[in-house]
Structure 1
Amino acid sequence: MATDESGGKVPPEPDYDVFAKNMARLVEEGGKAMAAYVRPRETGENNNSLSDGVADVVKTLGQVAETWLSDPHKTLDAQRSLVSGYFDLWSSTLRKMNGEEVAPVVEPESRDARFQDPDWSTNPFFDFLKQAYLHTTRWAETMVNEAEGIDERTRAKAHFYVRQIGSAVAPSNFVLTNPELIKETMAQKGENLVRGMQMLAEDIAAGRGELKIRQTDRASFEVGVNLATTPGQVIFQNDLIQLIQYEPTTPQVRRRPLLIVPPWINKFYVLDLTPEKSFIRWAVNSGLTVFVISWVNPDARHALKGFDSYMQEGVLAALDVVLKTTRLKQADLVGYCVGGTLLAATLAYMAATGDKRAASATFLTTQVDFTHSGDLQCFVDENQLKSLERKINEAGFLEGSHMSSAFNMLRPNDLIWSYVVSNYLKGRQPRPFDLLHWNSDSTRMAAANHLFYLKNCYDQNMLARGLMEIAGVQLDIGKVTVPVYELATREDHIAPAKSAFLGATLFGGPVRFVLSGSGHIAGVINPPERNKYQYWTGPAPKGSYDAWLNKAKEHPGSWWPDWRKWLADLDEAQGAPPKIGGGRYKSLEPAPGSYVKVPA
């Protein structure tokens, strides 16, 4: 490196020729990305429109604005609050530019990873941008909080939309307003942007005209090779499910079998990731006889398969096979997320019809009562349901990308914009991560089933109210008297702990409510060997969630052994492992089967 007259190092002059060539390549790759977006729309393969979503954003935020504009004094106070914050920030910035040590007017939250580069704090220009952005977004959140005369559902939607807009316009998301991106672009002479644009074009093409953000190295994992590898056999299948029986690994097993009902919105192998993270493998190794449902990835042929079909051809059909295979009269059942909601409805149906084949039920991050259903409620109102119904009935199913996008929007900074910056602006391939590979391996949703679920659960909360009817039977959760183990997770954005707790109070039998640390997935998939997170136990769920939490006892590590002990306390009668298929069903193919390998 060259030195100046005083001996100081002088940075090398940028190679403008290389930079200019990379900018030309960037334009070329940008054209490919645009073509990947336009082509499916020209051919009619993709008819998605943003108009309905934009209209709802404008309507919702307009209602908030209207409450403020209706009172001139409140409007003036709000404007004064915003402007005075800018003046304080400008004054602070001027003092900092003069060399003074100045405390920040506003700081990011400790968990906010967007502003970690030192220049966000040491450079007055970028520090001002950061603080101005934070002040503006927090002011907008305050406007929603303090808006009077709007219902809580509208307020929740407004909060959601403000968060989405705030996340999108963050200065960290743009090259010219992010010091880390400027330095990286100059150091790489724009090569990072070219690589990023190439990945952007590939991801739009992979999403058939929609951006399918890559969150992991897709080539690093393959189902049945290094994911979902617990040995077993598919012993039954119909139009909706394959049923897998796993091979025992212990000389004696707990006789009563375990049937797992995973969500149909995602693939079952979230419970059978890499061997060290596999809940299913751990359950088998702990002496349980495990069966799991693998749902079909539906297409137009399954359009009329409704909630009752998923109950009868799914849960009840699987239960028939499990009990015939083991030659027993009862099984323990486990439901995860919406699989748990289906299981709860099935148990209520069984209670109403005198079916006593369920010995116990375990619910993992499951909502039965949807009163406090969190941000996903923002996607379900009368207008959005009508729009969704038109779209889903045209094809007979809902594309998996719809739900994937909804889940990602619950944590936009972590699951959307961090990858936009890293992938498309820094030009970096994401690291291999089994959980994110599973997350991106989305499933479609059958029209009749998904619309029933949204209308009856999220929109009208029929199951909790005792008004849901399936196959001509009205369901009452209070008549479910089998022992229940209910697991909630403390940071769940999909099935909030408060919501899971409220649902747990509706069952008519004994309920053990357990709260795990972390969120909807990591709080569940928490092997004991990792000694990660923690869980809380307490009295039977009654009253309020907060009151229960105040009395709960914290335990280090995984909830898995606590659940296994709960099962043992119910019945730990041992016996020789049952044969695969029990002599009544032949093996159709090795686990994990073929249904789980069908892409969306």
Structure 2
Amino acid sequence: MTQTENRTEPEGTTVAEPGEQQSDLELVEAAIEALTGVLPVALSPTQGLAAARRLAGGVLRQPTALTRRGVDLTAQLARIAVGTSSIEPDRKDARWKDPAWQENPVYRRLGQSYLAWNRAVHGVVEDLDLDEKSKLRAQFVLKLVTETVAPTNTLLGNPAALRRARETRGRSLVDGARHALHDVKKNGAMPSMVDSRPFVLGETIAATPGAVVWKNEIAELIQYTPTTGTVHERPMLVMPPQINKYYVLDLAPGRSMVEHLVSHGHQVFMLSWANPGSDTATDTAASWDYDSYARTALEASDVVREITGADDMNLLGVCAGGITAAGLLGHLATADDRRFHSVTFLVTLIDFEVPSQVGTFISKPVVAAARRRSRKEGVLSGRELARVFAWLRPNDLVWNYWVNNYLMGKNPPAFDVLAWNADAVDLPAALHADFMSMATDNSLTRPGEFRVLGTAVDLGRVTQDSYVVGAVTDHICPWRACYPVVDLMGGEVEFVLSSQGHIQALINPSGNPKGSYRTTDGDDPAAGTDDSAGKPTADEWFERAQLHEGSWWDHWVGWLEPRAGAKRRARKTLGSTAHPPVEDAPGSYVRATV
């Protein structure tokens, strides 16, 4: 993990207790969404220049858009000058929370002028008749500029930073300079997002008791200790994303999905992927491809069956792990192998043609360049990937921490989710290439076009029941891109739409006061609104879905109950004679750093 050594403790700093709802969930969500996409590409310099050219061309062809916005801006600036403007920042925009932006006439006019100019600039793009991808790219380029020049990013333009400098007699500026020097030396000159010191693997995070019962060069298999007298006879195998460490699913006591499943009598087995860029990885780590991970999951499932004595098990795939699980199920369907009784997909992007922020920057030249670079270096750097995605959300993920760490001289927040986010993982070049090919060809949605372990995959032949979770504000795996599983899978599909974003949807314990979800319980999700139209679209499903308060975790446990088998007495020991415990959870692979 990224450590924040030699940092002063900010006044009033507290570490969130397990189960406590952190006050800045939007920030946490944005930070995680920036790193957990399965498409590690971004806008290249060539694309940036092309976007600028298209924007300029659009303005020249449609000058009325620029003229209209220019006139409106001039009028707005005049009202600001005389103090009659009513322009206000978004309520969620924390940059303008300091009272000086309302009470001080100079700062009030400065802030309003910036907001007026910013909205005018982006309004020009909205008014232009550009295709969707060109418009989104132009907005991205302009956002980099407009967010950078915000007055709050400067000492003189930030009244809160000036006040803190006076109150601390300049100590905050000294601390800020030290933080900046630390980040230049240790964090690639990017502002640190988190103080990870309070979060220790196996103690405060990834703390659910268990043991590693099997391993190969790609993964360790963790079996968790039962906490109930009886357990379901059908176990569950979890495939986390390869692009992150698994413990987002076992984050902290009270906020752990693993803990929740175990407390409901499920025998849980977790795959913990090796970090291919770590010192302990093998020389062949760069060659680990989609098939390598699918084959490892098959080997792990054999171990699960041997340890538990079960003929089959339930499968959980998360994000990129869900994409791997889908292909694996397609391979097994061809062989009529029913080792998996049901499957759950969490925030798993299946249809890459559905518009998304990351998908906006996908093009064959950029994908080819990304693949060449990762092959040359052997892995796609997790830290470099974090930097790329941070600039997709510059206000939340760059300038927010610039102000906090450097201008205010404070430590970054101590949040467990952000600590997980900073615990970077590299991606093997071969797996990266497979994901890129899948993205550009959208091959998983086309029967026979994607091959897994030598088998042409047709998800329509997968007849196991599926539970599919999308997240309503997920910009990495938009829920409408997760929804096509309803059409693609051959079995019964339960689609659930969680509140919040990509990762906050996963960390959604019972009792979450902000939690909610939508389902069509009692209704067939595959039944169309029109016989001639076939299955419903995502928007048609949304119109029929009912809103429920609380966490989808509880709904999921109810769905799993009849699919998890009868109850039996829990064994007191983990593993088996053939597969004895190797070490305590969370194991060794999760500790490897890049």
User: Taking structure 2 as the reference length, what is the TM-score of the superposition?
Assistant: 0.86
SS of equivalent to 1:515: strand
Aligned equivalents of 1:592 and 1:51: distance in 2?
Answer: 33
Q: What residue is the counterpart of 1:535 in the other structure?
A: 517
Task: Write the letter of the residue equivalent to 1:84.
Answer: V
Match 1:88 to one of 75, 78, 85 = 75
Q: CA deviation at 1:462?
A: 1.0
1:438 is matched with which residue? Answer: 420
1:568 matched residue in structure 2: 561
Aligned residues: 536
1:381 equivalenced with 2:381 (yes/no)? no
Deviations 1:290-345 (CA, angstroms, capped at 9, x unpaired)? 000000000353111111111112x2121111111111111100011111111111
Change in CA separation of 1:172 and 1:260 when aligned onto 2, cut-off 3 Å: same
Matched, 1:260 2:225: no
Matches of 2:42 and 2:565, distance apart in 1 = 57
Gaps of 5+ in 1: 1-49, 97-101
- Classify the secondary structure of the residue corresponding to 1:529: coil
Q: What are the equivalent positions in structure 2 for 1:289-368 lying under 5 Å apart?
A: 289-299=267-277, 301-313=284-296, 315-368=297-350
Q: Kindly tell me: are residues 51 and 238 of structure 1, through their superposed partners in 2, closer, same or farther at Cα, counting changes over 3 Å? A: closer
Q: Which amino acid aligns with 2:154?
A: F
Contact 1:373–1:495 (CA under 8 A) maintained in structure 2 = no
Aligned counterpart for 2:576 among listed residues 578, 582, 586: 582
Q: Do 1:244 and 1:591's aligned partners in 2 also have CA atoms closer than 8 Å?
A: yes
Gaps of 5+ in 2: 1-40, 278-282, 527-534
| Partner SS, residue 367 of structure 1 | coil
8 Å contact from structure 1 (residues 52, 387) kept in 2? no
2:101 aligned residue (94, 114, 120): 120
- Matched-pair contact (CA < 8 Å) for 1:409–1:416: yes
Report the counterpart of residue 549 of structure 1 in structure 2: 542
Greater helix share, structure number: 1
CA distance 1:415–1:62, shift in 2 (3 Å):
same
Q: Residues of 2 paired with 1:238 and 1:306: CA distance?
A: 15
1:85–1:135 Cα contact (<8 Å) kept: no
Equivalent position of 1:162 in the other structure: 142
Deviating more after overlay: 152-161 vs 545-554: 152-161
Q: CA deviation at 1:416?
A: 2.3
Match status 1:153 vs 2:133: yes
- Please provide the CA RMSD for this pair: 2.1
8 Å Cα contact 2:222/2:272 also seen in 1:
yes
Higher relative contact order (CA 8 A, sep 6+): 2
Please state whether the residue corresponding to 1:217 is helix, strand or coil. Answer: coil
Q: Does residue 269 of structure 1 match 2:247?
A: yes
Q: TM-score, normalised by structure 1?
A: 0.85
* Residue number among 378, 396, 407 corresponding to 1:414 in the alignment: 396
1:558 aligns with 2:551: yes
Answer yes or no: is the 8 Å Cα contact 1:117–1:179 preserved in 2. Answer: yes
Q: Give the Cα–Cα distance (whole angstroms) in 2 for the partners of residues 588 and 499 of structure 1.
A: 40
Q: Which moved more, 1:541-550 or 1:415-424?
A: 541-550
Equivalent pairs: percent with the same residue?
Answer: 34
Post-superposition Cα deviations, 1:164-220, rounded to whole Å, max 9, x if no partner, equal 33322222211122222232233334332221121122123223xx23432222211
The question of whether the paired residues in 1 share the 8 Å contact of 2:73 and 2:120 is answered with: no
Larger Rg belongs to:
1
- Report the Cα offset of residue 65 of structure 1: 1.8
* 2:71 match: secondary structure: helix
Counterpart position of 1:599: 593
Q: State the distance in 2 between where 1:51 and 1:253 align.
A: 45
Between stretches 556-565 and 407-416, larger displacement belongs to 407-416
Output aligned runs, 1:55-94, within 5 Å.
55-69=46-60, 71=61, 74-75=62-63, 77-94=64-81
Structure 2 match to 1:144: 125
Contact preservation (8 Å) 1:89, 1:128: no
Quick one: distance in 2 between partners of 1:577 and 1:584?
Answer: 19
Q: 1:30: which partner in 2? A: none
Q: Is the 8 A contact 2:66 2:124 kept in 1?
A: no
Instruction: Return the offset for 1:428.
Output: 0.2
Please name the residue that 1:14 is paired with: none
Q: Once the 2 structures are TM-superposed, how far is the Cα of residue 288 of structure 1 from its aligned partner? A: 0.4
Q: Does 1:129 align with 2:110?
A: yes
Secondary structure, counterpart of 1:220 in structure 2: coil
Find the aligned partners of 2:502 and 2:49 in 1 and give their Cα distance.
30
